[in-house]
Amino acid sequence: MSKKWSIAALLVYVVYAIGMYFYIFHGPSGGVPATLKGTVADPQTFMTERELLLSDDFSKIRNYLFFIITPFEWLVYILIMFTGLSRIFEKWADSRWKLIKNGAYLFLLYLFTTLIFYPIDLYRYHLSKEYGISTQEFSSWMKDFVIDFWVNFGTTLIVVLVLYWLIQKSTKKWWFHAWLLTIPFAIFMMYIQPVVIDPLYNEFYPLKDKELEAKILSLADQADIPSEHVFEVNMSEKTNALNAYVTGIGENSRIVLWDTTLNSLTDEEILFIMAHEMGHYVEKHIYIGIASYLISILVGLWLIAKLMPWIISRFGSVLKIDKVGDIRSLPLFFVLVSFLLFVSSPLSNYISRYQETRADEYAMELTGSAEAAVSTFQNLAKAGLSEVNPPWLVKIFRYTHPPMLERINTIARYTDTKKEKPEQEKDADDQTETESEKEKQTKPKTE
Protein backbone atom coordinates (compact mmCIF):
# COMPACT_ATOMS: atom_id res chain seq x y z
CA MET A 1 0.00 0.00 0.00
CA SER A 2 2.76 2.45 0.95
CA LYS A 3 4.55 1.74 -2.35
CA LYS A 4 1.41 2.57 -4.34
CA TRP A 5 0.89 5.80 -2.41
CA SER A 6 4.54 6.77 -2.96
CA ILE A 7 4.29 6.19 -6.72
CA ALA A 8 1.01 8.12 -6.84
CA ALA A 9 2.57 11.06 -4.97
CA LEU A 10 5.53 11.09 -7.38
CA LEU A 11 3.26 11.04 -10.42
CA VAL A 12 1.11 13.88 -9.10
CA TYR A 13 4.22 15.97 -8.47
CA VAL A 14 5.66 15.26 -11.94
CA VAL A 15 2.39 16.26 -13.63
CA TYR A 16 2.27 19.44 -11.52
CA ALA A 17 5.90 20.30 -12.35
CA ILE A 18 5.27 19.84 -16.08
CA GLY A 19 2.14 21.99 -15.91
CA MET A 20 3.99 24.78 -14.10
CA TYR A 21 6.83 24.57 -16.64
CA PHE A 22 4.46 25.32 -19.51
CA TYR A 23 2.73 28.09 -17.53
CA ILE A 24 5.98 29.86 -16.59
CA PHE A 25 7.98 29.40 -19.80
CA HIS A 26 5.23 29.29 -22.42
CA GLY A 27 2.22 30.84 -20.69
CA PRO A 28 0.97 34.43 -20.69
CA SER A 29 3.59 37.08 -19.95
CA GLY A 30 2.85 40.18 -17.93
CA GLY A 31 4.52 42.44 -20.47
CA VAL A 32 3.97 46.19 -20.56
CA PRO A 33 0.50 47.59 -21.38
CA ALA A 34 0.33 49.56 -24.64
CA THR A 35 -0.60 52.74 -22.76
CA LEU A 36 2.70 52.59 -20.84
CA LYS A 37 4.99 51.84 -23.77
CA GLY A 38 7.80 54.38 -23.91
CA THR A 39 7.02 55.82 -20.45
CA VAL A 40 9.36 55.78 -17.45
CA ALA A 41 7.64 52.55 -16.35
CA ASP A 42 8.64 50.75 -19.54
CA PRO A 43 11.85 48.75 -18.86
CA GLN A 44 12.97 49.40 -22.45
CA THR A 45 13.51 53.03 -21.47
CA PHE A 46 15.94 52.29 -18.63
CA MET A 47 17.33 48.78 -19.24
CA THR A 48 19.69 47.68 -22.00
CA GLU A 49 18.77 44.94 -24.45
CA ARG A 50 21.07 42.53 -22.60
CA GLU A 51 19.53 43.44 -19.22
CA LEU A 52 16.04 42.88 -20.63
CA LEU A 53 17.03 39.43 -21.91
CA LEU A 54 18.72 38.47 -18.63
CA SER A 55 15.79 39.78 -16.60
CA ASP A 56 13.31 37.71 -18.61
CA ASP A 57 15.34 34.49 -18.36
CA PHE A 58 16.31 34.96 -14.71
CA SER A 59 12.74 35.78 -13.64
CA LYS A 60 11.29 32.73 -15.36
CA ILE A 61 13.82 30.37 -13.79
CA ARG A 62 13.30 31.85 -10.32
CA ASN A 63 9.52 31.73 -10.69
CA TYR A 64 9.62 28.11 -11.79
CA LEU A 65 11.90 27.13 -8.90
CA PHE A 66 9.54 28.83 -6.46
CA PHE A 67 6.50 26.90 -7.68
CA ILE A 68 8.16 23.48 -7.74
CA ILE A 69 10.35 23.63 -4.62
CA THR A 70 7.57 24.03 -2.03
CA PRO A 71 5.52 21.06 -3.34
CA PHE A 72 8.80 19.12 -3.60
CA GLU A 73 9.25 19.76 0.12
CA TRP A 74 5.82 18.23 0.76
CA LEU A 75 6.76 15.27 -1.41
CA VAL A 76 9.99 14.67 0.52
CA TYR A 77 8.20 14.64 3.89
CA ILE A 78 5.42 12.41 2.54
CA LEU A 79 7.95 9.92 1.20
CA ILE A 80 9.81 9.99 4.51
CA MET A 81 6.59 8.80 6.14
CA PHE A 82 5.48 6.38 3.39
CA THR A 83 8.86 4.62 3.14
CA GLY A 84 9.21 4.15 6.89
CA LEU A 85 12.28 6.39 7.07
CA SER A 86 10.60 8.41 9.81
CA ARG A 87 10.29 5.25 11.91
CA ILE A 88 13.99 4.51 11.32
CA PHE A 89 14.93 8.01 12.53
CA GLU A 90 12.85 7.43 15.65
CA LYS A 91 14.61 4.12 16.28
CA TRP A 92 18.05 5.69 15.90
CA ALA A 93 17.04 8.52 18.24
CA ASP A 94 15.65 6.19 20.89
CA SER A 95 16.27 7.35 24.45
CA ARG A 96 14.63 6.96 27.83
CA TRP A 97 14.45 10.76 28.00
CA LYS A 98 11.64 12.14 25.83
CA LEU A 99 13.29 15.50 25.21
CA ILE A 100 16.55 13.90 24.08
CA LYS A 101 14.69 11.46 21.84
CA ASN A 102 12.64 14.21 20.20
CA GLY A 103 15.70 16.45 19.80
CA ALA A 104 17.77 13.65 18.23
CA TYR A 105 14.91 12.73 15.89
CA LEU A 106 14.60 16.35 14.75
CA PHE A 107 18.35 16.54 14.11
CA LEU A 108 18.28 13.42 11.92
CA LEU A 109 15.23 14.65 10.02
CA TYR A 110 16.64 18.16 9.62
CA LEU A 111 20.04 16.88 8.49
CA PHE A 112 18.47 14.50 5.97
CA THR A 113 16.22 17.16 4.39
CA THR A 114 19.09 19.66 4.34
CA LEU A 115 21.19 17.19 2.35
CA ILE A 116 18.26 16.49 0.00
CA PHE A 117 17.79 20.21 -0.70
CA TYR A 118 21.51 21.04 -0.85
CA PRO A 119 21.80 20.51 -4.64
CA ILE A 120 18.87 22.90 -5.16
CA ASP A 121 20.42 25.52 -2.86
CA LEU A 122 23.76 25.12 -4.66
CA TYR A 123 22.07 25.53 -8.05
CA ARG A 124 20.36 28.72 -6.89
CA TYR A 125 23.70 30.07 -5.71
CA HIS A 126 25.36 29.36 -9.07
CA LEU A 127 22.32 30.76 -10.90
CA SER A 128 22.62 34.03 -8.99
CA LYS A 129 26.36 34.14 -9.78
CA GLU A 130 25.76 33.40 -13.45
CA TYR A 131 23.30 36.28 -13.82
CA GLY A 132 25.51 38.72 -11.97
CA ILE A 133 23.36 39.15 -8.87
CA SER A 134 25.63 37.33 -6.41
CA THR A 135 29.26 38.32 -5.93
CA GLN A 136 29.80 35.90 -3.05
CA GLU A 137 32.66 33.42 -3.06
CA PHE A 138 31.75 29.77 -2.58
CA SER A 139 33.57 29.55 0.78
CA SER A 140 31.59 32.53 2.08
CA TRP A 141 28.35 31.01 0.77
CA MET A 142 29.13 27.70 2.49
CA LYS A 143 29.84 29.55 5.72
CA ASP A 144 26.41 31.22 5.55
CA PHE A 145 24.85 27.86 4.65
CA VAL A 146 26.29 26.25 7.80
CA ILE A 147 25.22 29.22 9.95
CA ASP A 148 21.73 28.93 8.47
CA PHE A 149 21.62 25.26 9.35
CA TRP A 150 22.46 25.77 13.03
CA VAL A 151 20.40 28.94 13.53
CA ASN A 152 17.31 27.39 11.94
CA PHE A 153 17.84 24.07 13.67
CA GLY A 154 18.25 25.79 17.04
CA THR A 155 15.04 27.80 16.73
CA THR A 156 13.14 24.80 15.33
CA LEU A 157 14.44 22.62 18.17
CA ILE A 158 13.00 24.96 20.78
CA VAL A 159 9.64 25.05 18.98
CA VAL A 160 9.44 21.28 18.47
CA LEU A 161 10.45 20.33 22.02
CA VAL A 162 7.90 22.70 23.53
CA LEU A 163 5.23 21.72 21.00
CA TYR A 164 5.44 17.97 21.62
CA TRP A 165 5.66 18.51 25.36
CA LEU A 166 2.39 20.45 25.15
CA ILE A 167 0.80 17.71 23.02
CA GLN A 168 1.74 15.15 25.68
CA LYS A 169 0.26 17.33 28.41
CA SER A 170 -2.96 18.30 26.60
CA THR A 171 -3.99 16.49 23.42
CA LYS A 172 -6.98 18.80 22.88
CA LYS A 173 -5.76 22.27 23.91
CA TRP A 174 -2.08 22.04 22.97
CA TRP A 175 -2.60 24.33 19.96
CA PHE A 176 -3.92 27.18 22.13
CA HIS A 177 -1.14 26.89 24.72
CA ALA A 178 1.42 26.77 21.89
CA TRP A 179 -0.07 29.95 20.45
CA LEU A 180 0.16 31.73 23.80
CA LEU A 181 3.87 30.88 23.97
CA THR A 182 4.33 32.08 20.39
CA ILE A 183 3.66 35.69 21.43
CA PRO A 184 6.64 36.22 23.77
CA PHE A 185 8.85 34.00 21.57
CA ALA A 186 8.13 36.06 18.44
CA ILE A 187 8.76 39.34 20.26
CA PHE A 188 12.00 37.94 21.74
CA MET A 189 13.24 36.86 18.29
CA MET A 190 12.46 40.29 16.83
CA TYR A 191 14.35 41.90 19.72
CA ILE A 192 17.54 39.84 19.34
CA GLN A 193 17.52 39.62 15.52
CA PRO A 194 19.53 42.83 14.87
CA VAL A 195 22.13 42.31 17.61
CA VAL A 196 22.56 38.52 17.79
CA ILE A 197 21.48 36.80 14.57
CA ASP A 198 22.16 39.34 11.80
CA PRO A 199 25.81 39.94 12.82
CA LEU A 200 26.48 36.22 12.33
CA TYR A 201 26.14 36.77 8.59
CA ASN A 202 27.40 40.30 7.98
CA GLU A 203 29.35 43.12 9.55
CA PHE A 204 27.28 46.09 10.73
CA TYR A 205 28.74 49.48 11.61
CA PRO A 206 27.54 53.08 11.96
CA LEU A 207 27.03 54.91 8.68
CA LYS A 208 30.35 56.40 7.61
CA ASP A 209 28.82 59.24 5.60
CA LYS A 210 27.88 61.53 8.48
CA GLU A 211 26.40 64.15 6.17
CA LEU A 212 23.99 61.58 4.74
CA GLU A 213 23.28 60.28 8.24
CA ALA A 214 22.31 63.79 9.32
CA LYS A 215 19.90 64.05 6.38
CA ILE A 216 18.32 60.69 7.22
CA LEU A 217 17.95 61.56 10.91
CA SER A 218 16.47 64.92 9.94
CA LEU A 219 13.94 63.09 7.80
CA ALA A 220 13.20 60.75 10.70
CA ASP A 221 12.69 63.76 12.95
CA GLN A 222 10.16 65.21 10.47
CA ALA A 223 8.29 61.91 10.66
CA ASP A 224 8.49 61.89 14.49
CA ILE A 225 10.48 58.65 14.45
CA PRO A 226 12.88 58.17 17.39
CA SER A 227 16.24 57.20 15.93
CA GLU A 228 19.80 58.05 16.89
CA HIS A 229 21.95 56.03 14.50
CA VAL A 230 21.90 54.67 10.98
CA PHE A 231 23.85 51.49 10.22
CA GLU A 232 25.40 50.24 7.04
CA VAL A 233 26.16 46.62 6.29
CA ASN A 234 28.87 45.23 4.04
CA MET A 235 26.86 43.39 1.37
CA SER A 236 28.96 44.19 -1.71
CA GLU A 237 31.05 41.07 -1.04
CA LYS A 238 27.89 38.99 -1.47
CA THR A 239 25.54 40.72 -3.89
CA ASN A 240 24.99 43.49 -6.41
CA ALA A 241 21.37 43.89 -5.32
CA LEU A 242 20.22 46.99 -3.44
CA ASN A 243 18.30 47.14 -0.18
CA ALA A 244 17.58 49.10 2.98
CA TYR A 245 15.33 48.31 5.91
CA VAL A 246 14.26 49.06 9.47
CA THR A 247 14.62 46.12 11.85
CA GLY A 248 14.21 45.22 15.49
CA ILE A 249 12.00 46.59 18.23
CA GLY A 250 12.60 48.69 21.33
CA GLU A 251 16.16 49.80 21.98
CA ASN A 252 17.45 47.33 19.37
CA SER A 253 15.55 48.94 16.49
CA ARG A 254 17.79 50.33 13.79
CA ILE A 255 17.86 51.75 10.27
CA VAL A 256 20.10 49.67 8.00
CA LEU A 257 21.50 50.48 4.56
CA TRP A 258 23.34 48.02 2.33
CA ASP A 259 26.66 49.42 1.12
CA THR A 260 25.60 48.49 -2.43
CA THR A 261 22.74 50.97 -2.04
CA LEU A 262 25.10 53.65 -0.78
CA ASN A 263 27.49 53.04 -3.68
CA SER A 264 24.82 52.96 -6.41
CA LEU A 265 22.21 55.58 -5.51
CA THR A 266 22.25 59.34 -5.03
CA ASP A 267 21.48 60.94 -1.68
CA GLU A 268 18.00 61.91 -2.93
CA GLU A 269 17.26 58.32 -3.95
CA ILE A 270 18.54 56.98 -0.62
CA LEU A 271 16.39 59.50 1.24
CA PHE A 272 13.36 58.29 -0.70
CA ILE A 273 14.10 54.71 0.33
CA MET A 274 14.52 55.79 3.93
CA ALA A 275 11.26 57.75 3.77
CA HIS A 276 9.58 54.59 2.48
CA GLU A 277 10.87 52.60 5.47
CA MET A 278 9.75 55.39 7.79
CA GLY A 279 6.32 55.16 6.19
CA HIS A 280 6.03 51.62 7.54
CA TYR A 281 6.79 52.96 11.02
CA VAL A 282 4.33 55.86 10.80
CA GLU A 283 1.58 53.67 9.34
CA LYS A 284 2.09 51.17 12.23
CA HIS A 285 2.76 48.36 9.77
CA ILE A 286 5.08 46.57 12.18
CA TYR A 287 2.28 46.27 14.73
CA ILE A 288 -0.25 45.30 12.07
CA GLY A 289 2.26 42.70 10.88
CA ILE A 290 2.70 41.27 14.37
CA ALA A 291 -1.07 41.14 14.91
CA SER A 292 -1.63 39.47 11.51
CA TYR A 293 1.16 37.00 12.23
CA LEU A 294 -0.31 36.03 15.61
CA ILE A 295 -3.82 35.67 14.19
CA SER A 296 -2.56 33.51 11.33
CA ILE A 297 -0.57 31.35 13.77
CA LEU A 298 -3.68 30.90 15.94
CA VAL A 299 -5.83 29.86 12.98
CA GLY A 300 -3.06 27.68 11.57
CA LEU A 301 -2.44 25.81 14.81
CA TRP A 302 -6.17 25.29 15.28
CA LEU A 303 -6.50 23.86 11.76
CA ILE A 304 -3.50 21.58 12.29
CA ALA A 305 -4.95 20.39 15.60
CA LYS A 306 -8.11 19.40 13.71
CA LEU A 307 -6.43 17.97 10.61
CA MET A 308 -3.65 15.89 12.15
CA PRO A 309 -5.90 13.54 14.21
CA TRP A 310 -8.24 13.10 11.23
CA ILE A 311 -5.40 12.29 8.82
CA ILE A 312 -3.79 9.87 11.28
CA SER A 313 -7.10 8.12 11.95
CA ARG A 314 -7.68 7.66 8.20
CA PHE A 315 -4.15 7.11 6.88
CA GLY A 316 -2.08 6.38 9.97
CA SER A 317 -1.18 2.86 8.83
CA VAL A 318 0.13 4.12 5.49
CA LEU A 319 1.98 7.05 7.09
CA LYS A 320 3.22 4.75 9.87
CA ILE A 321 1.98 7.11 12.60
CA ASP A 322 0.05 5.82 15.61
CA LYS A 323 -0.95 9.08 17.28
CA VAL A 324 -0.37 12.83 17.18
CA GLY A 325 2.00 12.76 20.17
CA ASP A 326 4.45 10.45 18.37
CA ILE A 327 7.53 12.31 17.18
CA ARG A 328 7.05 10.39 13.90
CA SER A 329 4.14 12.76 13.22
CA LEU A 330 6.57 15.70 12.87
CA PRO A 331 6.95 15.35 9.06
CA LEU A 332 3.15 15.49 8.78
CA PHE A 333 3.15 18.62 10.97
CA PHE A 334 5.77 20.23 8.69
CA VAL A 335 3.76 19.37 5.58
CA LEU A 336 0.61 20.95 7.00
CA VAL A 337 2.46 24.09 8.12
CA SER A 338 4.10 24.49 4.71
CA PHE A 339 0.85 23.84 2.87
CA LEU A 340 -1.13 26.35 4.94
CA LEU A 341 1.57 28.99 4.47
CA PHE A 342 1.55 28.38 0.73
CA VAL A 343 -2.23 28.57 0.24
CA SER A 344 -2.52 31.64 2.49
CA SER A 345 0.34 33.50 0.80
CA PRO A 346 -1.91 35.28 -1.77
CA LEU A 347 -3.78 36.96 1.10
CA SER A 348 -0.68 37.82 3.13
CA ASN A 349 1.09 39.06 -0.01
CA TYR A 350 -1.91 41.23 -0.91
CA ILE A 351 -1.83 42.87 2.53
CA SER A 352 1.93 43.35 2.23
CA ARG A 353 1.64 44.93 -1.24
CA TYR A 354 -1.01 47.32 0.08
CA GLN A 355 1.29 48.35 2.93
CA GLU A 356 4.19 48.83 0.52
CA THR A 357 2.03 51.06 -1.66
CA ARG A 358 1.07 53.12 1.39
CA ALA A 359 4.75 53.43 2.32
CA ASP A 360 5.57 54.61 -1.22
CA GLU A 361 2.84 57.25 -0.99
CA TYR A 362 4.11 58.36 2.40
CA ALA A 363 7.65 58.64 1.02
CA MET A 364 6.35 60.91 -1.73
CA GLU A 365 4.58 63.07 0.85
CA LEU A 366 7.73 63.32 2.94
CA THR A 367 10.28 63.92 0.17
CA GLY A 368 8.16 65.35 -2.64
CA SER A 369 10.66 64.12 -5.23
CA ALA A 370 8.98 62.15 -8.01
CA GLU A 371 12.18 62.04 -10.06
CA ALA A 372 14.14 60.42 -7.23
CA ALA A 373 11.33 57.92 -6.65
CA VAL A 374 11.18 56.85 -10.30
CA SER A 375 14.95 56.58 -10.68
CA THR A 376 15.13 54.59 -7.42
CA PHE A 377 12.68 51.98 -8.68
CA GLN A 378 14.42 51.84 -12.04
CA ASN A 379 17.78 51.24 -10.37
CA LEU A 380 16.31 48.59 -8.07
CA ALA A 381 14.85 46.79 -11.08
CA LYS A 382 18.16 46.93 -12.97
CA ALA A 383 20.27 45.74 -10.02
CA GLY A 384 18.00 42.81 -9.22
CA LEU A 385 16.96 41.99 -12.81
CA SER A 386 13.39 42.34 -11.61
CA GLU A 387 10.35 41.44 -13.66
CA VAL A 388 8.49 44.76 -13.80
CA ASN A 389 5.09 43.21 -14.58
CA PRO A 390 4.92 39.48 -13.74
CA PRO A 391 2.11 37.07 -14.73
CA TRP A 392 -0.89 37.10 -12.40
CA LEU A 393 -0.17 33.77 -10.68
CA VAL A 394 3.43 34.77 -10.03
CA LYS A 395 2.37 38.11 -8.62
CA ILE A 396 -0.17 36.80 -6.11
CA PHE A 397 2.05 33.98 -4.82
CA ARG A 398 5.51 35.58 -4.95
CA TYR A 399 5.30 39.34 -4.71
CA THR A 400 5.24 40.89 -1.24
CA HIS A 401 5.96 44.23 -2.94
CA PRO A 402 4.04 45.66 -5.89
CA PRO A 403 5.78 45.03 -9.22
CA MET A 404 7.93 47.94 -10.38
CA LEU A 405 5.40 48.86 -13.06
CA GLU A 406 2.76 49.44 -10.38
CA ARG A 407 5.15 51.27 -8.07
CA ILE A 408 6.17 53.71 -10.80
CA ASN A 409 2.49 54.20 -11.70
CA THR A 410 1.79 55.00 -8.05
CA ILE A 411 4.33 57.81 -8.30
CA ALA A 412 2.78 59.01 -11.55
CA ARG A 413 -0.73 59.05 -10.05
CA TYR A 414 0.55 60.88 -6.99
CA THR A 415 2.25 63.49 -9.17
CA ASP A 416 -0.88 63.97 -11.29
CA THR A 417 -3.01 64.34 -8.17
CA LYS A 418 -0.65 66.97 -6.79
CA LYS A 419 -0.79 68.88 -10.07
CA GLU A 420 -4.59 68.76 -10.15
CA LYS A 421 -5.00 70.06 -6.59
CA PRO A 422 -3.44 73.51 -7.18
CA GLU A 423 -5.50 73.87 -10.38
CA GLN A 424 -8.68 72.91 -8.52
CA GLU A 425 -7.82 75.34 -5.74
CA LYS A 426 -7.13 78.05 -8.34
CA ASP A 427 -10.46 77.34 -10.07
CA ALA A 428 -12.20 77.48 -6.70
CA ASP A 429 -10.56 80.83 -5.93
CA ASP A 430 -11.58 82.17 -9.36
CA GLN A 431 -15.12 80.95 -8.80
CA THR A 432 -15.24 82.65 -5.40
CA GLU A 433 -13.98 85.92 -6.90
CA THR A 434 -16.59 85.74 -9.69
CA GLU A 435 -19.40 85.14 -7.22
CA SER A 436 -18.12 88.03 -5.10
CA GLU A 437 -18.18 90.36 -8.11
CA LYS A 438 -21.73 89.28 -8.96
CA GLU A 439 -22.82 90.02 -5.39
CA LYS A 440 -21.35 93.51 -5.68
CA GLN A 441 -23.16 94.15 -8.96
CA THR A 442 -26.54 92.92 -7.72
CA LYS A 443 -26.33 94.47 -4.27
CA PRO A 444 -28.79 97.47 -4.02
CA LYS A 445 -27.24 100.85 -3.40
CA THR A 446 -28.15 102.69 -0.21
CA GLU A 447 -28.26 106.40 0.33
Q: Known binder of ligand: residue 356?
A: yes
360 carries an active-site annotation = yes
- Say if residue 401 carries a ligand binding annotation: no
Amino acid symbol at 177: H
Which one of the listed residues 198, 213, 259, 277 is annotated catalytic?
A: 277
3-class secondary structure for the chain? CHHHHHHHHHHHHHHHHHHHHHHHHHCCCCCCCHHHCCCCCCHHHCCCHHHHHHHHHHHHHHHHHHHHHHHHHHHHHHHHHHCCHHHHHHHHCCCCCHHHHHHHHHHHHHHHHHHHHHHHHHHHHHHHHHCCCECCCHHHHHHHHHHHHHHHHHHHHHHHHHHHHHHHHCCCCHHHHHHHHHHHHHHHHHHHHHHHHHHHCCCEEECCCHHHHHHHHHHHHHCCCCCCCEEEECCCCCECCCCEEEECCHHHCEEEEEHHHHHHCCHHHHHHHHHHHHHHHHCCHHHHHHHHHHHHHHHHHHHHHHHHHHHHHHHHHHHCCCCCCCHHHHHHHHHHHHHHHHHHHHHHHHHHHHHHHHHHHHHHHHHCCHHHHHHHHHHHHHHHCCCCCCCHHHHHHHCCCCCHHHHHHHHHHHHHHHHHHHHHHHHHHHHHHHHHHHHHHHCCCCC
End-to-end CA distance of the chain: 110
Dihedral sign for Cα 373, 374, 378, 381, please: positive
Whole-angstrom distance, CA of residue 88 vs CA of residue 433: 88
**Residue 276 marked ligand-binding:** yes
Active site residue 251: no
Residue type, 28: P
Q: CA 120, CA 122: separation in Å to the nearest integer? A: 5
Q: Which of 198, 269, 360, 361 is catalytic?
A: 360
Residue 281 CA to residue 266 CA, distance in Å, equals: 23
Contact 204, 198 (CB under 8 A): yes
Q: What residues are annotated to the active site?
A: 277, 360
Residue numbers in the known binding site for Zn(2+) are 276, 280, 356
Residue numbers in the known binding site are 276, 280, 356
